[in-house]
Amino acid sequence: MNLVIHPSGFAEWNHQRLRCALGAGGISKKRREGDGITPVGLFPLRQVFFRSDRIEGPETILPISALTQWDGWSDDPDDPYYNQQISLPSKDRHEVLWRGDHVYDLIAVVGYNDQPIIPGAGSAIFLHIAKPDFSPTEGCVAFSLPDLAGILNEWEETSFVDIRAEI
Q: What is the pLDDT of residue 167?
A: 55
Mean pLDDT of 104-123: 97
Q: What is the average per-residue pLDDT within 26-38?
A: 93
The residues spanned by each domain of the chain are: 30-36+44-155
**Average pLDDT of span 21-45:** 95
Q: With 60 as the cut, is the pLDDT of residue 36 above it?
A: yes
Q: Show Cβ contacts of residue 94 under 8 Å, excluding neighbours closer than 6 positions.
A: 72, 73, 74, 75, 76, 79, 86, 88
Give residue-wise pLDDT tens across range 134-162. 999 999 999 999 999 999 999 999 999 99
pTM value?
0.96
Amino acid 77: pLDDT: 97
How does residue 113 score in pLDDT terms, banded at 50, 70 and 90? very high
What percent of the chain has a predicted confidence (pLDDT) above 70?
Answer: 99
In tens, the pLDDT along 76-111 reads 999 999 999 999 999 999 999 999 999 999 999 999
| pLDDT greater than 60 at residue 37 | yes
Residue type, 14: N
- Residue 72 near residue 94 (C-beta atoms within 8 A): yes
What pLDDT is attached to residue 93?
A: 95
Question: DSSP string spanning 62-96?
Answer: S-EEE--TTEEEE--TTSTTTTSEEESS-SS-EEE
Would the pLDDT of 131 be above 60?
Answer: yes
Residue 20 has pLDDT above 90, yes or no: yes
